[in-house]
Amino acid sequence: MNFFSTKNLLLALPVLGLLLGGCKKNELDDYFHAPTNESSDSGFAGLGLPRVPLSPRYAPGDAVPLYVTYNETDQLRDITVFQVVNKADSVQTGVYPANGAFNASGGLLAQAVPYTVPANAANGVPVRVDVTLTFQNGAKRLRRFTYTVAQPITLKFGATPATYRNTLAATAQSEGDIIGYSLITNETGIGALPTPPAVLTAANPLFKAVDSLTTFYRIGTGAPVRVGVIRNPSNGAANTRTVDVTIPRNTNGQPVTYSFTAYGAVQAVTVTAPPINVTNPTALATLRTGRISGGPNATPDSLAFNLRTGLIEPAANPATAKDLFVSGVSGGVYLSAANTTRYTKITPLQLDRGFYSAPTANAVGTALYANGVASAASVSADLGPVAAGDVYAVRIRAAEFALLRILSVKQSSAGSNARVRFEYKTL
């Protein structure tokens, strides 16, 4: 019986054409001219190693870590590499005899194949690399990968490279102090090709992604120590960030140097800050005491205190000099600042470290910054209800530091006045 006549074949051809026309092709497929001759006799072939992945972007001149894996029993003869740059004709870049070495992680032979990104490749163009493996029996196996040409990673310090979080001078930094370094990766860069009709411009080129940004410090001439890693800080787009570092313990009297390294595909870029000459902290050696009152019958001139003069601030004086006053007596004695003086309460853990017994401007400044980062509301003009033994780090009118401790609190009851006695240490 004839199941497939010439008539049936003619009817099927248009359908077959539609099916073939509907197959999705690689953008550069029409520009591949290397023979494949793949058959069931072709051996196994793979690209890449488990810990050496290929990247979707490379910069001109990059040496790509291209590895081919294959079975020893398949008797590979040679490896031929072709490339297609932005739909240009396929170009052979090299032929390499098989000489792979056994790779335990994959149980195969692995061979590094030289391949370098063309030095004159334009930014943003696609490149396809075709790797043809030819076996001793003449059979071939094709493996390929694609990438986009991008600018190499850049890394630089910002306009203000270092910000000393305790607000003291660079020459007054001590162990435990925090410094913020401003870093710019891939300045002016973009992280994805523009969507047409927008086009790529020289002013905003495509950059390689930054896989990690790592912080190191070195004490004196010692070996660098890694202290922090930020994963995937940039997909290639320009990124400005500040990285906080803490000066290591037991470094007083020694220089400490911080460096930052941005890692990406076959690239690492490092910037190094000037060394910090770590010194002894600035002591808060001046001790003063004071008291203020509040309540329905309190004398108006006893409500506020001037931390700079160490005296009661008269009620008629402007609020700019009133660093501490009784702001409420209902349900406790509440203290506040009427000006730009700010307070943050010191935790029991901080006090256990000798925070008050050996107070320093460095520790106070660092506590104000760190507590503010943890919770902006924790640095405030309002101390809230106070109790004997409470300790507060103080920034007086956005300038000098102090450390204040509440000595005693007398609550207001039945119309009586509330009283607070305190002491504070300054420079």
Give the pLDDT score at 107. 87
pLDDT at 252: 94
Spatial separation of the C-alpha atoms in residues 96 and 94, rounded to whole Å: 7
DSSP 121-182: PPTT-EEEEEEEEEETTS-EEEEEEEEEE-BPP-EEEEEEEEEETT---GGG--TT-EEEEE
Give me the pLDDT at residue 37, please.
Answer: 54
Q: Which segments in the chain show pLDDT lower than 70? A: 1-41
Domains 26-149 and 155-194+201-277 share a fold: yes
Over the stretch 64-79, which tens digit does the pLDDT of each residue have?
999 999 999 999 999 9
pLDDT of residue 351: 82
CATH of domain 155-194+201-277: 2.60.40
Q: What is the pLDDT of residues 200-217, one digit of tens each?
A: 999 999 999 999 999 999
* pLDDT the model gives residue 60: 98
**pLDDT value at residue 25:** 43
pLDDT value at position 40? 54
Q: Assess contact for 6 and 30: CB atoms under 8 A.
A: no
**Domain residue ranges of the chain, discontinuous segments joined by +:** 26-149, 155-194+201-277, 286-426
Per-residue pLDDT at 13: 34
Distance (Å, rounded) from C-alpha 157 to C-alpha 159? 7
Can you give the pLDDT at residue 390? 95
Q: Which CATH architecture has domain 26-149?
A: Sandwich (2.60)
